[in-house]
Amino acid sequence: MPDHTWGDAWVSDKLIEIKGVKHAYQTGDGPLPVLDGLEMSVPEGGFCAVVGPSGCGKSTLTRLVAGLMKPDEGEVWLQGERVTGPKSTVGMAFQNPVLLEWRSILQNVMLPLEIVPTRMSKRDQEARARHLLTLVGLDGFEDKRPSELSGGMRQRASLCRSIVHKPDVLILDEPFGALDAFTREDLWQTMHKVKAEEPFTGVLITHDLRESIFLADQVIVLSGRPARTQYVMDVHLKGERDLDQLYTPESAEALNILRHQIKVAQGRAETDEAAA
Amino acid sequence: MFKKIAIPIFALVLFGVFWEFLVWVNGWPNYKMASPSDLWPAFWKFRWLFLEYGWDTLWRTVVGLLLAVVVGVLIGMVMGFSRTMRDALYPLLVGFNAIPKATVVPIIALMFVGQHDFNTILIAFLISFFPIAVSVSIGLSTLEPEYRDILASLGASKLTIFWKIALPKTLPEFFGALKVAVTLAFIGTNLMEIVEPHGRGLGHLFDSGKISADYPLMFAVLIALAIMGIMLYYVVVALEKVFAGWAERSPT
Ligand SMILES: Nc1ncnc2c1ncn2[C@@H]1O[C@H](COP(=O)(O)OP(=O)(O)OP(=O)(O)O)[C@@H](O)[C@H]1O
Ligand SMILES: [Mg+2]
């Protein structure tokens, strides 16, 4: 572990915990090590951004946390339980919004409720889905088909679907990656609005450093493949934020450090001492 | 809507007139090429046989096709979900499909001699399940992992993922294949009816036209087959509209 020491408060109530995880994919030309000794933990209600070079194993990490795959070595813990398979207390959204074309937006958002056992009545389920759509600014689009929405709107719908079953853990794999800068900033603010109303513990994979400090309270930089935890930064911004805060000297400094860490991860800078 | 019906009908009439004209200009005798005006008397003379035999051909084709759908979807599912099964079954299927079905007809006729309905349905099935199996397997095996993951990450079973995502997502490909299969099944039914001396179906009516040198009757059967083929095809198109209409992009 580099220059970060875990705060004491973190040790007691870690909702997500990844301990010494190693994983390799079996490919045509032998095993491809992707994760190598990954350490990471997120406290309840925390929001952790993970950045790293392309192809370093970030999506692999999300699949391990979601229980879609088992790590070769090491352990993944959620809510004090070792992850052995998928759990309905997890919500996921991807870069590709993967909305089902044959369902209306409302039906798409309600999809998880058809899988996850819930005590909500049908009427309450629909009310909840409609409420979430309103929250992200999609009121009036409930009965539209996904193909009738813009990319940003689809991503909003996908976000609603990932939280409709009130997951304790939300995993976002570059959900805003394919969007233009303005739409993205818009969605960042939506994200804060959602977080204020629907508390969750989150992991956000991103390749946008400004996004990472705007949304998260902790940023983890992964090294190049095979990935390990290279650097951890506690974000100086707290709670709901506004875009101007990205242009303060503190933010500029934080971004600089992260940018340097990415360079190190990509092997374009020699040491990670200089910036720290 | 009016245009949608009027245009094809106008095209059909134009085609008929052109046909009549061609026969008349060239002075072809009706054993070389019957003209539309020869056909109507042939239809009228055998109208009850056309109805009765047409029904035979129709239900055998439909039953064969339904079998092809059930078996084709099952094979497609097996191949779509398991790589090993795909690798194992694919060459077998391709090889089977490559055999000209005209050669299979007499073999089937011999194998199940006398069981006319069964023979005919079997051929209709054999000839038409292949495109269905292939399209379903391709549809399932090319399902993007994210589609699976949105439900898998909630702990949904494979069966649930199949019902809620994989199956509906494959429907457009399935109906594409069904349109091909319906025509193939129809060919299969008629092949058997013509080759096997079982005295039923439009294929038999065609054969008896040949034996009695009633050329207009043979042409009339061809037209009846074409009409029935169009009907079956559009039934599939209607079903597609109902079950996979969402896949149709609105024209832009
Ligand atoms: N199913 C798989 N089989 C074999 N190799 C895989 C598989 N999935 C991913 N990989 C490889 O593992 C590495 C890490 O993949 P992963 O998708 O986790 O990267 P990533 O960090 O999410 O990349 P990106 O930033 O581009 O999304 C890549 O080199 C990829 O080629
Ligand atoms: Mg990725």
Mean pLDDT (whole number) for A43-64: 91
**Pick from B144, B155, B168: which is nearest to A87 by CB?**
B155
Contacts with B247 from chain A: Cβ below 8 Å: 101-102
CB A70 within 8 A of CB A84: yes
Homologous superfamily in CATH for domain A14-89+172-191+200-275: P-loop containing nucleotide triphosphate hydrolases (3.40.50.300)
pLDDT band at residue A275 under the 50/70/90 scheme: very low
Mean pLDDT (whole number) for A133-155: 92
- The DSSP bridge partners found for residue B138 are none
pLDDT score at A158: 95
C-alpha distances in Å from residue A141, one per residue of A129, A155, A192, B86: 12, 13, 22, 41
- The DSSP bridge partners found for residue A27 are A30
Atom of ligand 1 nearest to the CA of A63: 18
pLDDT per position as a tens digit, A82-122: 899 899 999 999 989 999 999 999 999 999 999 988 888 99
Cis bond before residue A199 (omega within 30° of 0): no
**Pick from A66, A101, A114: which is nearest to B153 by CB?**
A66
ipTM of the complex: 0.81
pLDDT score at A10: 39
How close is the nearest chain A Cα to the Cα of B88, in Å? 20
B115-122 contacts: CB < 8 A, separation 24 or more? Answer: B116/B196, B116/B198, B116/B200, B117/B60, B119/B192, B119/B196, B119/B198, B120/B60, B120/B64, B120/B188, B120/B189, B120/B192, B120/B193, B120/B196, B120/B201, B121/B60, B121/B63, B121/B64, B121/B67, B121/B189, B122/B64
| Residue ranges of A 175-234 with Cβ closer than 8 A to chain B | none
- Cα A136 to Cα A139: distance, rounded to the nearest angstrom: 8
Which carries the bigger pLDDT value, residue A158 or residue B103? Answer: A158
pLDDT score at A153: 92
Asked if A111's CB is within 8 angstroms of B150's CB, the reply is: yes
A34 lines ligand 1 (CB under 6 A): yes
**Pick from B156, B244, B247: which is nearest to A115 by CB?**
B156
pLDDT per position as a tens digit, A218-267: 999 998 888 889 889 998 888 788 888 888 888 899 999 999 999 888 88
- Tell how far the Cα of A59 is from the centroid of ligand 1, in angstroms: 7
Q: Which structure tokens are listed for B2? A: 């009016």
- pLDDT of A126 above 90: yes
CB A105 within 8 A of CB A164: no
Report the share of chain A in percent with pLDDT over 90. Answer: 53
Beta strands A201-205; A47-51: pairing state: parallel
pLDDT score at B233: 92
pLDDT score at B159: 87
Mean pLDDT (whole number) for B84-103: 88
Residues 6+ away with beta carbon under 8 Å from B56: B193, B200, B201, B202
Residues 6+ away with beta carbon under 8 Å from B182: B61, B65, B128, B229, B232, B233, B235, B236
- Cα B146 to Cα B150: distance, rounded to the nearest angstrom: 6
Q: Which structure tokens are listed for A47? A: 């929001």
- The DSSP bridge partners found for residue A26 are A31
Q: Where are the domains of chain A?
A: 14-89+172-191+200-275, 90-166
**CATH, range B46-245:** 1.10.3720.10
3-state secondary structure of A203: strand
Beta strands A90-93; A169-173: pairing state: parallel
pLDDT score at B250: 58
Nearest to A57 by CA among A32, A40, A75: A32
- pLDDT of B198 above 80: no
3-state secondary structure of B47: helix
pLDDT per position as a tens digit, B111-168: 887 788 888 999 999 999 999 999 999 888 888 888 989 999 999 988 899 889 998 9
- pLDDT of A2 above 50: no
Radius of gyration of chain A (CA): 19
CB A229 within 8 A of CB A1: yes
- Cα B46 to Cα B202: distance, rounded to the nearest angstrom: 11
- pLDDT of A270 above 80: no
CB A160 within 8 A of CB A132: yes
Strands ordered across the beta sheet of A90-93: A90-93, A169-173, A201-205, A47-51, A218-222, A229-234
CB A49 within 8 A of CB A216: yes
Q: What is the DSSP letter of A103?
A: S
Nearest to B195 by CA among B97, B96, B98, B116: B116
Beta strands A30-43; A201-205: pairing state: unpaired
pLDDT per position as a tens digit, A162-220: 999 999 999 999 999 888 888 899 899 999 989 998 889 999 999 999 999 999 999 99
pLDDT score at A238: 82
With CA atoms as reference, the chain B residue closest to A161 would be B150
